[in-house]
Chains A and B, each alone.
Chain A
Amino acid sequence: MLNNPNKIKTSILVSITLILIWILLTEIVFSGNQVFPSPSLILLAYFDLFTSYNFLIHLVSSISVIYLSFIISFAIIRLKFPLINSRSIFIKYLLQIPSFFLIVPGILIGVLLIYWFGDGFLIKLIYGVFINAVVIYQTILKYDKSEIKNYIFSAKSLGVSDRIVRRKIIWKFLEPKIFCDIIDKHGYLWSTLIAFEFIQNSNGIGSMMRKALEFHDLSILIALIILIALIVLCGEKLLRLINDKYFFWN
């Protein structure tokens, strides 16, 4: 995260410089090149995205899967909030795997799902629920309950049952952690979903990318990547706003 104003300033300056170099090279120096698209071509590609590629429909499909699947997996785990034995060595190793490396097993599971059940929005949604559930489970397993042991003792001394302690105290402390983890792994969730859509080749932004590659339309691909980056960034900002509003006490 760029918290330092100087770092933000530097990164903005670097980005502007790179864009200027790109404009200079593709529009003036190598204006006749057929490989790397120029900014004007990419601007034209945005028009194609909305007309020929039905971008909005694919975007709605991807966004609904990302956020709907989070809500569904959150609700399912909340309903069946289990007691998990985190002392298992396997679980400990699983927890140490950074989310970046989880992309590969995530995609492999996606391939199996597509192989068994084919295309369709429901399969994609099930996949999204699974990936979100893994992220939520990781958060639950990682959470050190000794942080809130005093809350548990106090509640139990007041005669509150284990079930209520689990559901209304431990879970409540977990909620903001889950939310923060989902925000941190927002990029991971998007990349696995796009990879899944790419393989499934049915609908969603991933399937658009596949079509763009099939047509060797690099300008569409770059336009899409820029749009996705902006969408993911906006989604993350929105989630942070929700986090600040609903978990103000965290």
Chain B
Amino acid sequence: MTNLVEINNLNKSLFLDPRVKKTVLKDISITIPLSEKGNITSIIAPLGAGKTTLLKIISGIEKYESGTMGFSNNNPSVKPLITETISVLPWLTVKKNIMFFIKSIKDKISDEKLRNIIDDVGLTNYEDFYPQNENTGFQFRIALARSLAFNPKIILIDDSFKNLDLDTRNEIYATLIKVVDKYCLEIILATTNLIEAVYLSDQIFLMSKNPATIIFELKNQNKYDDIQTMVNSDSFRLISQQVQSKFQDNSGIAVIHYSV
């Protein structure tokens, strides 16, 4: 298989009410090519469209009804999901949070590797901190480090940045880009934020709501120095117009965030 992820005509229904079954994902087709270097792919969709369900299916914790989903030969068994509300264990320190899940599957991680991961996600000197009083950015770094400890090829991020302030968000973006390059990771990011998607991603999928289906695919070759430069650029304006027009064509679209 030449693609890292290949999803074809995937369908999923959920019982939103005990008696009413609703189609959440309809004929979802996503292809993410295999790449030497790391990539970030964004799935941009309104709130409540089914992004989380799709990510849960990709990570293997939820089943789909029909369609196909395949991964490349390098497909790892673990596809960590970083949830919208970051789920780091509040009773454990940063270091123990990273070690906890590795130990839970009876695996080991060398001290050197752990040290490197902690440094790479920007948690140097915070190993013995408890996360419960720290901000979401700090908790995201722990969740990222915890995922990296598993040597994954793919990490799934479910709109985890939406509660971050602008400065923290920029710092987290920089960390994420650095980690993606260093570990040759494929990140699948579900978001409602167009700016975030365009700034970080090489490939963007637009997903509609009720039911969720892919309505547009965008290859993003542009690289920007910072978000402000990107927002003021013609290329972003063009992408923004394309996205808006695509969403206007589809009914049932909620607000997409275009703010910095």
Contact = CB atoms under 8 A, between A and B. Distances in A.
B127 interface: no
Given A150-B85, A172-B89, A249-B90, A158 B146 contact: yes
Contacts, number: 64
Most buried by B among A158, A169, A247, A249: A158
Nearest to B83: A150
A156 B156 CA distance: 13
A155 B104 CA distance: 9
Given A157-B60, A169-B89, A250-B90, 16 more contacts: A150-B83, A150-B85, A150-B87, A153-B56, A153-B61, A153-B81, A153-B87, A157-B56, A157-B81, A157-B156, A158-B80, A158-B105, A159-B78, A159-B150, A160-B104, A168-B104
A157 B59 contact: yes
Contacts of B105: 158-161
A155 B56 CA distance: 12
Interface string A143-174: 00000101101111111110010001100100
A158 B84 contact: no
B77 A154 contact: no
B132 A156 contact: no
Contacts of A148: 87
A249 B132 contact: yes
B87 A154 contact: yes
20 contacts: A150-B86, A153-B83, A154-B87, A154-B143, A157-B59, A157-B60, A157-B61, A157-B81, A157-B156, A158-B147, A160-B101, A160-B104, A161-B105, A168-B100, A172-B89, A172-B91, A247-B91, A249-B130, A249-B132, A250-B90
Nearest to A151: B87
Interface in A221-250: 247-250
A82 to B, nearest CB: 20
A172 B96 CA distance: 15
A247 B130 CA distance: 12
A151 B84 contact: no
B87 A158 contact: no
A168 B59 CA distance: 21
Interface of B: 56, 59-61, 77-87, 89-91, 100-101, 104-105, 130, 132, 143, 146-147, 150, 156
A168 B79 CA distance: 21
Interface residues of A, number: 20
Contacts of A156: 59, 61
A178 to B, nearest CB: 14
Contacts of A157: 56, 59-61, 78-81, 156
A249 B92 CA distance: 9
Nearest to A163: B104
B135 to A, nearest CB: 16
Nearest to A176: B91
A193 to B, nearest CB: 31
A154 B132 contact: no
B248 to A, nearest CB: 33
Contacts of B150: 158-159
Contact of A154 (B60, B82, B91, B130): B82
A216 to B, nearest CB: 54
Contact of A158 (B85, B86, B90, B101): B101
A185 B188 CA distance: 47
B136 to A, nearest CB: 13
Contacts of A154: 80-83, 87, 143
B220 to A, nearest CB: 26
Shortest 7 CB-CB contacts between residues of A and residues of B: A157-B81, A150-B83, A249-B90, A157-B59, A151-B87, A150-B87, A156-B61
A155 B61 CA distance: 10
A151 B104 CA distance: 14
Contacts of B83: 150, 153-154
A148 B83 CA distance: 11
A156 B101 CA distance: 10
Contacts of B80: 154, 157-158
Contacts of B78: 157-159
Contact of A151 (B56, B59, B89, B156): B89
A59 B90 CA distance: 38
A245 to B, nearest CB: 12
A148 B91 CA distance: 14
A161 B150 CA distance: 15
Nearest to B156: A157
Contacts of B60: 157
